[in-house]
Amino acid sequence: MRTYFSIILIFMSLEVMSQQRGIQNTENRGSKNKGEKLRTILDDSTKTIYGMNTSRYMSKDNFLLGDTAFITLDSSLTNIEKVSPDEKNQFTYQSLGNIGTPINNIFNYYPSTFSISSGINSLNYYYLVSSEAKFYDTRSPYIDLSLFFGGNGRSMVDFVFSRNINKNWNIGFDIHRISADKQISASKAKGDKNINSSLFKLFVYHKSEDEKLTLYSDFVSFRHQILGNGGVDVDYDSLPLNFFTYNDFSTRLKDIENLERRKRLNLFLNYKIIEGLEIYNDFYFKTQQVEYMDENYVENAPYYNDFFLSNISTLDSIKIKSVANRAGVRGLLGDINYNFYANYKNLNYLYTDNLNTNIFNEIYLGGIINFSRKEFDILTDFKLKTTGDYSLLGKLKSKVFEISYYSGLHVPTLFQSSYSGNHFQWDNEFNSSFINTLEAKVKINTNSIMFSPFIRLSSIKDYIYLSNEKNPTQHDEILINNQFGVNLNFNLFNKIINLESRYSYNTVSKSSADIFNIPKHHIYSRLFYNGKWFNNSIPVQFGVNAYLRSEYYGNAYEPSLQAYYVQNNFLLERNLRLNLFYAMQVKNLRVFLKMTHFSQFDKFDGYFVTPYYPAQKKVLDLGIKWYFFN
């Protein structure tokens, strides 16, 4: 942590020193002649124009879709109080009750990627969101500093630095840090760590003078440590609990550790040959190393069913390396954006007890066609592997409605196919999973009301999941999950009082009943006041975030696999969670105060967000987001 702050302070000091030298030099030059005085005046005047409208960025994904518009910085207060992944995603995720813990999407159980992957993905959110590739054009030096000081020893730091060397080159780096003390069964009042996570990204972006060549490259290093305890030691037959004692809970495990490390090197080149025809190459080298350590055999042995490698201690690891390269042609012809490419991937992995490296090679062709008019957009995205596996997405979007259809055959992940550790081992030959999803929504907008009903119809055959025995299982029947819901937003008194809400009703087929464990009802609402105080100079928001879900048998978490699995014994009760917040903005500074889990009116009250893992108890949180320019 000290190292990261030292880097931040060094860069900020260099910026201040360079500005001071610049001012001194211009003053000295200004005394020489009138012409240089005029130039100094112009230089000084231009410095004041830098701000949120002059610092922009574009995501690489949007660039490849043909959307080359730069996005200006977000300066609003809306949703600034949301910090954790479950809050940001309206509690459609489950976690282990603390920031930085492994998460699982409750409603989306389909593979997230078409390409073959490790399948060890419970920490993907923390890696992918923070490492997103962005093309910055900041003109002036730019700093985005976000600080979160949560109650009970929880904190987050997000630091982004970017500056243009000249109008064609931009360099920068990101630092993201999560630190959290244990929220249950802590051995001391402060400093008994549960989460230590850090991500560092160094990036460079270049646009040639003639705007034909685009270059982007980044290097990412990610380290995420979980000092866990397996959750609280309760019998599901004793539920619901009348008292949540938090620090006085006994736990199922003691002194275990999960450690995941990732590295990424990306080099992207795009060259415009003529108007409407461009070629590109996107190269990735990635590593992922996942470890599970338990040297507390005496106390923890009763938790495990099997010991395959050692009955004294556990040190499981898997090392994965992959090289991927995508080469393609893209461009804009009239109203049609096109992108056709070939993708190659080489992946190898090695388990603790295996001396031989396993190697996979994969090739697939793909294409994206987007027909865009003022009235509507039509998008087609397809991929086809040499093995016959495919992915097909079609979307039709207008101002009033949106409809999409997805169909795909997805190969099993490495984790589903093969695993070798001290407590679990398997070697499976599964079929590809066949997925079909139809989604539709209607959007009705007026000045004060937005009403948008939606529907999602999903089916999957040969679904692969981690069963209650914590082993991958393939279900050969067709499983069906349907979701019906509505988004409703409205405002009163010229947008002073605002409500944002979403309700979903979820059903599953009889064959899916013990596999797709999702709550039947799920509600999210954000009711808030929005205005300006002190002579209309200080934007202010305050209100409440409300989350309500019905009872269901939520997936449980297995630490030694760093994965969620299906269970049907531990019932997660219906719960209502209220978070009160207040946010204000002074120029480039935004601040919020939040009473997390305000609805816990009794200190011994509580509920479980995941089997054996209680939700965060009531705490007061403070957050700051600050932009710096020049």
- Output the domain CATH number for residue 410: 2.40.170.20
For the record, the structure tokens of 601 come out as: 């009116």
Exposure of 214 by Cβ count < 10 A (0-12 exposed, 13-18 middle, 19+ buried)? buried
Asked whether residue 13 is domain-assigned, the answer is no
Task: Concatenate the DSSP letters of all residues of 204-247 into one string.
Answer: EEEE-TTS-EEEEEEEEEEEEEEEE--SB---GGGPSPS---GG
State which residues form the domain around 68: 49-629
pLDDT of residue 191: 86
Q: Helix axis angle, 2-30 relative to 34-47, nearest 10°?
A: 150
pLDDT of residue 244: 87
Residues of the chain with pLDDT under 50: 1-48
Beta carbons within 10 angstroms of residue 207's beta carbon: 18
For the record, the structure tokens of 231 come out as: 């959750």
pLDDT of residue 42: 39
- Based on its alpha-carbon atoms, the radius of gyration of the chain, rounded to whole angstroms, reads 26
Asked whether residue 450 is domain-assigned, the answer is yes
| % of the chain with per-residue pLDDT over 70 | 92
Instruction: Give kind and range of the element (H or E) at residue 20.
Output: helix 2-30
Asked whether residue 42 is domain-assigned, the answer is no
> 409 phi and psi, to 5 degrees?
-110, 115
For the record, the structure tokens of 12 come out as: 């900020």
Distances 143 to 88, 139, 163, 466 between C-alpha atoms, Å? 23, 12, 9, 43
pLDDT of residue 38: 38
Q: pLDDT digits over 101-137, tens only?
A: 999 999 988 887 899 999 999 999 999 999 999 999 9
Contacts 24+ apart (CB under 8 A), 249-252: 249/184, 249/185, 249/614, 250/185, 251/184, 251/185, 252/303, 252/612
The domain tally of the chain equals 1
> 548 phi and psi, to 5 degrees?
-135, 130
3-state secondary structure (DSSP) of residue 581: strand
Query: What is the reported pTM?
Result: 0.90
Asked whether residue 267 is domain-assigned, the answer is yes
Asked whether residue 26 is domain-assigned, the answer is no
Asked whether residue 489 is domain-assigned, the answer is yes
Asked whether residue 5 is domain-assigned, the answer is no
3-state secondary structure (DSSP) of residue 536: coil
Query: Residues 60-71, buried b or exposed e (16+ Cβ, 10 A)?
Result: beebbbbeeeee
pLDDT of residue 185: 86
Q: pLDDT digits over 525-566, tens only?
A: 999 999 999 999 999 999 999 999 999 999 999 999 999 999
Distances 498 to 449, 495, 592 between C-alpha atoms, Å? 10, 6, 18
- Helix %, strand %, coil % of the chain (to 5): 15, 55, 35
Rounded Cα distance, 586 and 341, in Å: 47
Rounded Cα distance, 352 and 160, in Å: 37
Asked whether residue 24 is domain-assigned, the answer is no
Contact 426, 472 (CB under 8 A): yes
pLDDT of residue 451: 97
